[in-house]
Structure 1
Amino acid sequence: MPENKWIQGADALNLLGTGSIEVIGRMPYSSNATLLVKIQGEGDEIAAIYKPHQGERPLWDFPDGLYQREVAAYRLSESLGWDLIPPTIIRYDAPYGVGSLQLFIDARFDEHYFTLMDRPELASTFIRFCVFDLIANNTDRKSGHILIDKNDHLWGIDNGLTFHEDSKLRTVIWEFGGAQIPEQDRELLRKNSSEISESLSELISEVELEALSRRIRYVISKKKLPELDPEYRPYPWPLV
């Protein structure tokens, strides 16, 4: 597969949006159709993850169109300048119809949250992931949904189960419960709450946008990350 490390940001978004798409194969262990693709255009090529709408299995608690939530998660991260989610767009002219395209991360795939959580130099990023998942109401932050690339940058993938209007937070990242939320992050949320709502307005419902705004206000006011409730163990399954 092509190397992705030199194609990031706007260049990656442009290629994701305009390049020709060749399906390489299906990713293992995915309940919905998740395809590895090669994208080529103007002398560059990248690998990406394609999640077609028609490959989604219906869920009783989430509306149709999980691929839009993958894009919403990316836009939330970008609105805050946090760089936590790989570049992700909607492509309408993809091989199996409309779906999300996300830049493939050339990660160290033997590593995940449980192997990384004790590295002190990563603690601040994990706290930021906790804030992100709390705001996005992530229902499925498994250990394997945290990747580390060859430059030690952490990325969050598989963000389709997010932004529900009801509280559904399920994550493996509870070691940082009670940690102080950095004031700079709280200030970013204050300044960018309107931009966040605008950037997500075409991807999630009005009710979900209102719930997102409430969660943002909660994070700003509480100052600390919530701790694990011993009466309710909000973990996803499987854990990895």
Structure 2
Amino acid sequence: MPPPERIPSRRMSGDGIRERTRTDLDLLARGELTVRGQVREASNAVLYCSVALEGEEAACVYKPVAGERPLWDFPDGTLAQREVAAFEVSEATGWGLVPPTVLRDGPYGEGMVQLWVEADPEAALLALVEDEEAGEGWKAVGPAQVAEDRTALLVHADTPQLRRLAVLDAVINNGDRKGGHLLPAPDGRLYGIDHGVSFHVDDKLRTLLWGWAGEELTAEAVTVLGSLDGQLAPGTPLAERLTGLLTGAEVAALRERVARLRRTGRHPVPSGEWPAIPWPPV
């Protein structure tokens, strides 16, 4: 299959984010999907597509369930649903950190379809620095071996958007927050992608965003978690949608993670029972 050809992506910014998201969801759910290429570096089948409906067209990613590689710790054929669940939870926070995502039929069967976001190549979110250089504007993740004779410090940017994403990852129990899953858009917004290994009932949090580990949550995050707690109550619209995507035990574990974050009032720390940083990190 040829490499992807670029189709102009939609930009979601300003006061019209919510309305734009609703319009994009309709386009993604009902539009005609045309496969344009394949993202070859992905471990599962990831197809770059265009989606068109009533004169509107956008670029998107289509991940068919049939192309998912089996994992030892997640049920087969559930990664697409988890990606959609991550979008649902992100929308419930009001932070809009996950691009519009739907579950629908496509050329290769049911799968996840997500709006394509073109990342800003000039935006720097991760860096390798000497210890003394990790100062204002950066948060340390940990040492990284960059050569046989040298170990540098891996750091990530200290921004409100990344901190919100760290909270979202703790909520959804993201097991694979790599550097390549961070998309800083040219309009200044930040998106996270690839949430297929999320929502496990056991602690699986693996991320490059450990810079706030153990620190107090921001007042904004505390407010958002309180709202999310109410939205996840049994019988609510969000809970009903998630029940169609996750198991009952996984939804219950999601509620408990939100409750635990509210009780502690702090960002989680690595458990020590699971590798804290995904590999490869980028």
TM-score, normalised with respect to structure 2: 0.79
Aligned to 1:63: 75
Residue 114 (structure 2) aligned to one of 95, 102, 109: 102
Aligned to 1:170: 206
Contact preservation (8 Å) 1:4, 1:106? yes
Q: Determine which structure has the larger strand proportion and give its number.
A: 2
Residue 202 (structure 1) aligned to one of 232, 236, 244: 244
Q: Once the 2 structures are TM-superposed, how far is the Cα of residue 105 of structure 1 from its aligned partner?
A: 0.1
In the TM superposition, 1:196-235 aligns within 5 A as 196=232, 197-228=239-270, 233-235=275-277
Aligned to 1:51: 63
Bigger Cα displacement from structure 2, 184-193 vs 19-28: 184-193
Bigger Cα displacement from structure 2, 196-205 vs 10-19: 196-205
- The yes-or-no answer on 1:83 pairing with 2:96 is yes
Aligned to 1:26: 38
Indicate the RMSD between aligned Cα atoms, in angstroms: 2.3
Q: Once the 2 structures are TM-superposed, how far is the Cα of residue 79 of structure 1 from its aligned partner?
A: 1.0
Residue 2 (structure 1) aligned to one of 2, 7, 11: 7
- The yes-or-no answer on 1:37 pairing with 2:49 is yes
SS across alignment from 2:228: helix
Aligned to 2:215: 179
Contact preservation (8 Å) 1:17, 1:91? yes
Deviation track 1:6-31 (CA, whole Å, cap 9, x = no partner) reads 47311111110111111011102111
Q: Once the 2 structures are TM-superposed, how far is the Cα of residue 228 of structure 1 from its aligned partner?
A: 4.5
What percent identity do the matched residue pairs reach? Answer: 38
Contact preservation (8 Å) 2:104, 2:113? yes
Residue 227 (structure 2) aligned to one of 191, 214, 227: 191
- In structure 2, do the counterparts of structure 1 residues 171 and 6 end up closer, same or farther at CA, with 3 Å as the change threshold? closer
Aligned counterparts of 2:125 and 2:240: Cα–Cα separation in 1: 31
TM-score, normalised with respect to structure 1: 0.92
Aligned to 2:167: 131
Q: Once the 2 structures are TM-superposed, how far is the Cα of residue 159 of structure 1 from its aligned partner?
A: 0.6
Aligned to 2:15: none
Query: How many matched pairs?
Result: 239
Q: Once the 2 structures are TM-superposed, how far is the Cα of residue 130 of structure 1 from its aligned partner?
A: 1.0
The one-letter code of the counterpart of 1:66 is L
Contact preservation (8 Å) 2:47, 2:61? yes
Residue 28 (structure 2) aligned to one of 16, 23, 35: 16
- The yes-or-no answer on 1:144 pairing with 2:156 is no
Q: Once the 2 structures are TM-superposed, how far is the Cα of residue 233 of structure 1 from its aligned partner?
A: 4.6
SS across alignment from 2:138: coil
Q: Once the 2 structures are TM-superposed, how far is the Cα of residue 38 of structure 1 from its aligned partner?
A: 0.5
Contact preservation (8 Å) 1:112, 1:146? no
The one-letter code of the counterpart of 1:87 is P
Bigger Cα displacement from structure 2, 102-111 vs 63-72: 102-111
Q: Once the 2 structures are TM-superposed, how far is the Cα of residue 113 of structure 1 from its aligned partner?
A: 3.5
Aligned counterparts of 1:13 and 1:209: Cα–Cα separation in 2: 23
